[in-house]
Structure 1
Amino acid sequence: MAGKPKLYYFNGRGRMESIRWLLAAAGVEFEEEFLETREQYEKLLKDRFLLFQQVPMVEIDGMKLVQTRAILYYIAAKHNLYGKNLKERAQIDMYVEGTTDLMGMIRVHHKSPPEEKEKNLSLIIERATKRYFPVYEKVLKENGQPFLLGNQWTWADVQLIETLLMAEEKESTILSQFPLLQAFKARMCDVPTIKKFLQPGSPRKPPPDEKFVTTANRVFNRK
């Protein structure tokens, strides 16, 4: 029997967090090796594990996978969270790409210069409430189902709940205009595997802080 997947990244969210979310939602236990030194990173390079000299990297099913999207595709397909046919996969891809765009804005907000933080936060809230959340609210209304593609949650739903919670960390009332997304959030947070992931002591990581940035800079030799 194959061992647990092993995740190679920093002890923080970044691009690995969606991978943690998807594995946890699928009920898959995993191990992590946190990169803290330049030497760890150079060893991975020397061993030719990092195809494009980048992390995240996930060791799974005898493979060493890199590139976040490829890793997520594999996990979603393996655990039947990627739709039943080509049409459903295309829909999932659309919904995931939308949340990825918004998530990217939220993820880098902590890097904003102090004088631009408020402006950038306003842009995040504007994009979330005017461009992205209305789409998912409409989808839930039109299909009349508990999840984006029907009565069974998929990778798209996992990434959406991750994004909603990230957005609420920035602005606690950001979902006030979206009752169906509020109900969706409650349903997803009650899924047993997700509920477990949201408990204290789980592998879920807190919002990035200065320590996370400093570690990444040290590992990558950034100044």
Structure 2
Amino acid sequence: MAGKPKLYYFNGRGRMETIRWMLAGAGVEVCFYFMEILKSERGNLLFQQVPMVEIDGMKLVQTRAILNYIAGKHNLYGKDLKERALIDMYVEGTMDLNELLMHYPFHKPEEKEKQLAVIVEKATTRYFPVYEKALKDHGQDFLVGNKFSRADIQVLETILMAEELKSDILSKFPLLKAFKGRISNIPTIKKFLQPGSQRKPLLDEKTVAEIKKLFDIDQ
């Protein structure tokens, strides 16, 4: 029996968080190794970058490659090429929004109000309407093929991140709000959302400072 996947990253959200979500949605238990151990693993980083996931005898880097592998391995990637194309479109869109949300804590205090306005505007006019329309058009519980997929996982993750910054951001999207409730209650996802899980919290100022120092980001 294969061992648990090993995840190498700093102790925070960042690009590893979606990978955590994907593995949690698949019901996979993992081991975490934080940045300190990478001193001995640096030679295994293909592009000298994290996240890195050790799984099935491979040491994978590049977030999308890792997510694609996990989704394919755990039957979260649709039943055929057409469904995969739809999933990819939804996923790429939500990853664009996720990127804005992920970088929000790193903005200077005087920039945050403006950045939040950008996030809310794009979420409510560009991204969330797409998912709302998809749910309305096919009238099913999931975004693609009426089956739980990586699209559902990644859209839920992004919705919850957006709600941390603006709690009523779904007020104009009733179908998406109901979708959030359904996906949140899938047993593997529900477990991941409980206190004490391996889900990481919103970055606080102390953690942001530590990450900036770790990656030599300008203060």
Q: TM-score range by the shorter chain?
A: over 0.9
Q: Does 1:128 align with 2:123?
A: yes
Find 2:41's aligned residue among 41, 44, 47: 44
C-alpha contact 1:41 1:219 (8 A) present in aligned 2:
no
Q: Does 1:117 align with 2:125?
A: no
In the alignment, the residues of structure 2 paired with residue 128 and residue 117 of structure 1 have an alpha-carbon distance, to the nearest angstrom, of: 16
Q: Secondary structure, in 3 states, of the residue corresponding to 1:108?
A: helix
Q: Which residue of 2 aligns with 1:160?
A: 155
Q: Which residue of 2 aligns with 1:62?
A: 57
C-alpha contact 1:9 1:57 (8 A) present in aligned 2:
yes
In the alignment, the residues of structure 1 paired with residue 152 and residue 143 of structure 2 have an alpha-carbon distance, to the nearest angstrom, of: 6
Q: Which residue of 1 aligns with 2:70?
A: 75
Can you give the 5+ residue segments of structure 1 that lack an aligned partner in the other structure?
none
Moved more, 84-93 or 64-73: 84-93
In the alignment, the residues of structure 2 paired with residue 144 and residue 163 of structure 1 have an alpha-carbon distance, to the nearest angstrom, of: 22
Give how far 1:222 is off. Answer: 4.7
Higher relative contact order (CA 8 A, sep 6+): 1
Q: Secondary structure, in 3 states, of the residue corresponding to 1:174?
A: coil
Find 1:94's aligned residue among 82, 89, 92: 89
Aligned residues: CA RMSD:
1.2
C-alpha contact 2:78 2:145 (8 A) present in aligned 1:
no
Q: Does 1:196 align with 2:186?
A: no
C-alpha contact 1:167 1:174 (8 A) present in aligned 2:
yes
In the alignment, the residues of structure 1 paired with residue 81 and residue 207 of structure 2 have an alpha-carbon distance, to the nearest angstrom, of: 38
- Runs of 4+ residues deviating >6 angstroms: none
In the alignment, the residues of structure 2 paired with residue 71 and residue 181 of structure 1 have an alpha-carbon distance, to the nearest angstrom, of: 27
Amino acid at match of 2:64: R
In the alignment, the residues of structure 2 paired with residue 173 and residue 30 of structure 1 have an alpha-carbon distance, to the nearest angstrom, of: 33
C-alpha contact 1:10 1:215 (8 A) present in aligned 2:
no
Q: Secondary structure, in 3 states, of the residue corresponding to 2:4?
A: coil
Give how far 1:221 is off. Answer: 4.4
In the alignment, the residues of structure 2 paired with residue 142 and residue 220 of structure 1 have an alpha-carbon distance, to the nearest angstrom, of: 44
Amino acid at match of 1:20: R
Cα distance per residue 1:154-188 (max 9 Å; x no partner): 00010000011001001000000000001100000
In the alignment, the residues of structure 2 paired with residue 171 and residue 78 of structure 1 have an alpha-carbon distance, to the nearest angstrom, of: 35
Q: Which residue of 2 aligns with 1:12?
A: 12
Cα distance per residue 1:124-172 (max 9 Å; x no partner): 1011011110010000000111111132110001000001100100100
Q: Secondary structure, in 3 states, of the residue corresponding to 2:33?
A: strand
Cα distance per residue 1:96-139 (max 9 Å; x no partner): 00100111111101111111110110111011011110010000
Give how far 1:218 is off. Answer: 3.7
Can you give the 5+ residue segments of structure 2 that lack an aligned partner in the other structure?
none
Query: Percent of counterpart pairs with the same letter?
Result: 66
Q: Secondary structure, in 3 states, of the residue corresponding to 1:7?
A: strand
In the alignment, the residues of structure 1 paired with residue 2 and residue 90 of structure 2 have an alpha-carbon distance, to the nearest angstrom, of: 31
Instruction: State the TM-score, normalized to the length of structure 1.
Output: 0.94
Q: Secondary structure, in 3 states, of the residue corresponding to 1:14?
A: coil
